Copies of this chain bind each other. A is one copy, B any other.
Amino acid sequence: MTPPPAAAADLVITGCTVLVHDDQERIGFQENAAIVVRGGVIESVTSADAVRGRAAVERVDAAGQVALPGLVNCHTHAPMVALRGAAEDLPTEEWFNDVVWPIESNLTEKDVALGARLACAEMIRGGVTCFADHYFSMDAVAAVVDECGMRAHLGEAFFSSQGPRGRERSLEFALRHRGGAGGRITTVLAPHAPYTVDDADLTATAELAHAHGLPVHLHASENRDQAEASLARHGVTPIEVLRRTGILDTDVLIAHGTGILDRDLPVLRDATGRVAVATAPRGYLKFAWPTTTPVRALRDLGIPVGLATDGAASNNSLDVWESMALTALVQKSTTGDPRRLTSRQALHHATLQSARAVGLGDGLGSLAPGRRADIILVDLTGPHTQPVHDLAATLVHSARSSDVRTTIVDGRVLMRDRELLTIDVPAVVREMGERMPALLDRSHGKRIQDYDT
């Protein structure tokens, strides 16, 4: 008896090698494979032979390519691409106080929309399918996410200097957009950091998080200076501030954490919320911070560490692929151990841990039946990725974001053969150029906040 024909798939990808995780979360590669997508979800990861006759609305021949889960940028300020290269070769304090925060006092909703659009174009081209954004005028970012087809984890940032309205707006945003863009948008409460948001506001944020079932995304212990200043002024580290204000009892994503001290590790271990950390190592090198995120110590506690780029005003790109390679290199270098991170460990951070960091560990982070169809196809036929002796090493240390040929979110192709299908880059660049004189003007002497750790 012939089995009944399977329903037509929305998308069938054939002929590729697929990065898969086994039941121990070890990374492997299934060769000559196929991925079947239906209703935005992966129906199966199977052999190319098995899908030969399968009816499908769209087929992608991916011979010579590797399919990976779409990358997740676990901490960025997407609209800041407008300031890419505007504040160079400066220490952190001057970067904030003399350039970035004065310029941000000029920001309009239009600037944020244009910046988000350019950022999404860059990320889609670099194989990023989901980003955790933490910025201002986030309604504009949500609208761009809706139109361009990406997935995002969004929060409206606030400082205590804005008074209670800042916190209220962050909550209103989170409630308004939760589940937006056909379910591709998840939302958070987004206090800026313990050095700009006081204990009362952090405590209130934790209470709102519980009341509304929302996670929290904030900067904390970004660098060693902040940790030391907090100890000197308050007798506690920024991580201990998160504990005493109840933030560690929420599902919280901490950006950077290069100032996490040994005394913070048991605090993080004992957190009752789901804690994750996002690491964006390029900026730490560029700012000459003395330490990097303690990835290995955090992993030993079972805390997922996701990959991130921060904003392009510090990182100069939104290239998560580069963050993956640099995380591997910098962890080897700072721990003095060339054996770790291995390339497979780096890929684990780039896949399951990054998905968990943005609270989407059940739906994203691996290519397996039932997971959302957020998939990228990476071309390894270039001379710089040949020969392949160790595919994990090829992906982490030889391939680059520009090797991503196809980017798919929820089964929808957003870039095909490097052509963006949902964003008109020249139009965005032209409009952004017109806004630049007004955006860059610092003659007013204002800034949105002071950096004083």
Q: A330-B285, A342-B89 are in contact. Are A84 and B402 (CB under 8 A)?
A: no
A433 at the interface (CB under 8 A from B): yes
User: Which A272-289 residues sit within 8 Å CB-CB of chain B?
Assistant: 282, 284-289
A398's partner among B84, B381, B402 (CB-CB below 8 A) is B84
Q: In the complex, are the beta carbons of A285 and B333 less than 8 A apart? A: yes
Contact B319 A384 (CB under 8 A): yes
- Chain B residues with CB under 8 Å of A394's CB are 84-85
In the complex, how many angstroms separate the beta carbon of A80 from the nearest chain B beta carbon? 12
In angstroms, Cα B319 to Cα A383, docked, is: 11
| Cβ contact within 8 Å between A400 and B400 | yes
Q: Are A290 and B389 in contact (CB under 8 A)?
A: no
- A343–B287 CA distance with the chains assembled, in angstroms: 14
Q: Contact check, B89 vs A386: say whether CB atoms are below 8 A apart.
A: no
Copies in the complex: 2
Interface size for A (C-beta < 8 A) is 68
- A-B contacts, 22 listed (Cβ < 8 Å): A85-B389, A85-B394, A88-B390, A88-B393, A89-B339, A91-B339, A118-B383, A119-B383, A126-B384, A282-B329, A285-B330, A286-B338, A287-B332, A288-B332, A288-B337, A316-B393, A381-B426, A386-B425, A386-B429, A387-B429, A387-B433, A387-B436
Q: A90-B339, A119-B383, A288-B336 are in contact. List 16 more A-B contacts (CB 8 A).
A: A81-B386, A83-B389, A84-B386, A84-B387, A85-B390, A85-B393, A88-B343, A89-B332, A118-B383, A286-B332, A287-B338, A312-B398, A319-B384, A383-B425, A389-B440, A400-B400
Question: A: which residues have CB within 8 A of B?
Answer: 81-86, 88-92, 118-119, 121-122, 125-126, 282, 284-290, 312, 316-319, 329-330, 332-333, 335-340, 342-343, 381-384, 386-390, 393-394, 397-398, 400-403, 423, 425-426, 428-429, 432-433, 436, 440
